[in-house]
Amino acid sequence: MRYLFAVVLSGVVVLIALLAVLGIWDILPGEVLRNYAWKTVQSLVIVLICSCVVFIIHAICYREEDSTNRFGTRDRPTQ
């Protein structure tokens, strides 16, 4: 899974670099690049918000019933 994530992020970086170089050499008009860049930023914000909501839903629905933390120890000492 990490490998796939790294490949996808690397592909995004290469794509952004390619668009930047094409914009520098005026192969693509600047207005087109600004339009795509703004739409990309908006899309990433929407994806980030949606993934936060999904994470919160999963955290609430699938939390453990006992009082152990993620390290397997109790938060409060038992007496």
Q: Does the residue 39 lie in any domain?
A: yes
Note whether residue 21 is domain-resident: yes
Whether the Cβ atoms of residue 22 and residue 28 lie closer than 8 Å to each other: yes
In a domain, 25, yes or no: yes
* Residue 72 resides in a domain: no
Q: Is residue 68 part of a domain?
A: no
The count of domains in the chain is 1
Bridge partners of residue 68, in order along the sequence: 74
**pTM of the complete model:** 0.52
* Conformation bin of residue 77: beta by default, left when phi > 0, alpha when psi is -120 to 50: beta
The predicted-structure confidence for 42-69, as pLDDT tens digits, reads as follows 888 898 898 889 888 888 887 765 555 6
Q: Determine what percent of the chain is predicted with pLDDT higher than 70.
A: 80
Query: In terms of residue numbers, what domain contains 23?
Result: 2-61
Please report the beta strands in 4-76, taking only residues with DSSP state E, as ranges in sequence order. Answer: none
In the chain, the largest separation of any two C-alpha atoms, in whole Å, equals 72
